[in-house]
Amino acid sequence: MKSNISEQRSISKDLWGMTGLIFILATFFPSSVMAEETAILNSGDTAWMLTATALVLFMTIPGLSLFYAGMVRSKNVLSVLMQCFAITSLMTVLWVFYAYSIAFGGEGPYWGGLDKMFLKGIGVDTLSGSIPETVFMTFQMTFAIITPALIVGAFAERMKFSAMLVFMTLWMTVVYAPICHWVWGDGGWLGNKGILDFAGGTVVHINAGMAGLVAAIILGKRKGYPSTQMPPHNLGYTLMGASMLWVGWFGFNAGSELAADGVAGMAMAVTQIATAAAALSWMFVEWGKHGKPSALGIASGAVAGLVAITPASGAVGPMGALAIGFASGVGCFFASTLVKRLLGYDDSLDVFGIHAIGGIIGAVLTGVFCAESLGGAGFGDGITSIGSQVKIQSLGVGATLIYTGIMSAIILKVIDGIMGLRVSDDEEMEGLDLALHNERGYIISSS
């Protein structure tokens, strides 16, 4: 009996000794202890992030590709599909070469440096939180793919394929990757200020939308616009593409938690709620204004809602999602119709009206509905009020608009001066499918 008591006391002393050692290590060497705690692979998180990565890639090919292809004229359908496919390939290579390093390689306030060029230091066992860094890198790669692909809709039917490739290369290098680091990279200046951009309101949508507006203005209007009617040639494609975007967006938003947890679950829920609200609000406003609801309208409204909830998806609750959805549906409808007509620019597929305006609405309202008193998850680090959070959100919006606008204009002007941006009048009239690719999207036989 005495022997058992003695053994128990010995075990108890050992446990207390281990506890004390852990306490001392955590107190004097917290970073090493935390690194050991966090650097553990979680198979559930990894499985979810593999799925989310595939969903986000699915958004570009085939989702966005079909969404855009259906809205252009039949003589240009193949050119839009080709552009999205080529961008997917090009951005993948650039991301591996250096863009991932610029975005996530270091801790500078404006860029991440080149230490991870060619994915240096990333191996089978390298972790990013609870998932392999290879998975994190590929997930972020899919964001780097869809963002420049969104810009295609603004200059559809009139830009040279060669000029497009050069523009996208330079734009990824000096615009997307640095802004990505500002918001999501270690040490990024906007992230340090407490901006809430869960899945890319500034990084993806405002960024692409502003670049699209600049491209549309610099290239000029399509021949015959706006006097000549240029209706979508296949709204079936557009609705299928919008449906794929809607499904893929769950990977986009819920995947941005980088874990299979409650935040990811809420991000998925609010994504569905906001999208449905925006689709209905666009449809009803259009119905009241024009007398009939359109398939293009409800699809555009859904995308507007997806865009607007993107920055908010990890920070707002269901009622905040409803408000953001309704606001984005109405706001993007008027931006893509009334405002576009008043200003007179030819943004072929309303990239600015949906992505930039939707992103702005979502980013600013994130600062409102993130408040716990309104059902949200709380403010960013160091922020204590709705007013302060909205101020930081607006700073992020303004910085993105200004930097993207200026840099995109410079890139486009340089390319135009060296090799030209726009196809010839004859090529535009013939259609880019034949003129640039010597192929047709459709071959109709009389037999």
pLDDT classification of 446: cutoffs 50, 70, 90: low
pLDDT tens-place string over residues 267-290: 999 999 999 999 999 999 999 999
Rounded Cα gap, residues 106 and 104, in angstroms: 6
CB 274, CB 322: distance < 8 Å: yes
CA distance 342 to 345: 9
pLDDT of 444 reads: 77
Q: What is the pTM of this model?
A: 0.91
What is the set of domains in the chain, with CATH numbers?
33-437 (1.10.3430.10)
Omega before residue 62 within 30° of 0, cis: yes
Q: Report the mean per-residue pLDDT for the chain.
A: 92
Please determine, for residue 22, whether its predicted confidence score (pLDDT) is greater than 70: no
pLDDT of residue 443: 86
The 10 Å Cβ neighbour count of residue 44 is 12
Per-residue pLDDT for 197 more than 50? yes
Whether 332 has a pLDDT exceeding 60, the answer reads yes
Residue 30 has pLDDT above 70, yes or no: no
Residue 24 pLDDT > 90: no
- pLDDT tens track for 379-422: 999 999 999 999 999 999 999 999 999 999 999 999 999 999 99
Q: What is the mean pLDDT of residues 124-131?
A: 96
Asked if pLDDT for residue 7 goes beyond 50, the answer is no
Do 245 and 187 meet the contact criterion of CB atoms below 8 Å apart? Answer: no
Own/partner pairs for 135-138, CB < 8 Å, 24+ apart? 135/46, 135/49, 135/50, 135/53, 136/49, 136/258, 137/95, 137/100, 137/104, 138/53
pLDDT tens digits for 48-102? 999 999 999 999 999 999 999 999 999 999 999 999 999 999 999 999 999 999 9
Handedness of CA 299, 212, 148, 428 (dihedral sign): positive
Q: How far is CA 192 from CA 373, 382, 393, 396, 401, in A?
A: 24, 9, 12, 12, 19
Residues contacting residue 445 through CB under 8 Å, at least 6 positions apart: none
- pLDDT for res 447: 55
**pLDDT at residue number 92:** 98
pLDDT recorded at residue 27: 42
Tell me how far apart the alpha carbons of residues 100 and 94 are, in angstroms, rounded to a whole number: 8
Q: Are 146 and 56 in contact (CB under 8 A)?
A: yes
Residue of 75, 15, 7 whose CA lies nearest to 436: 75
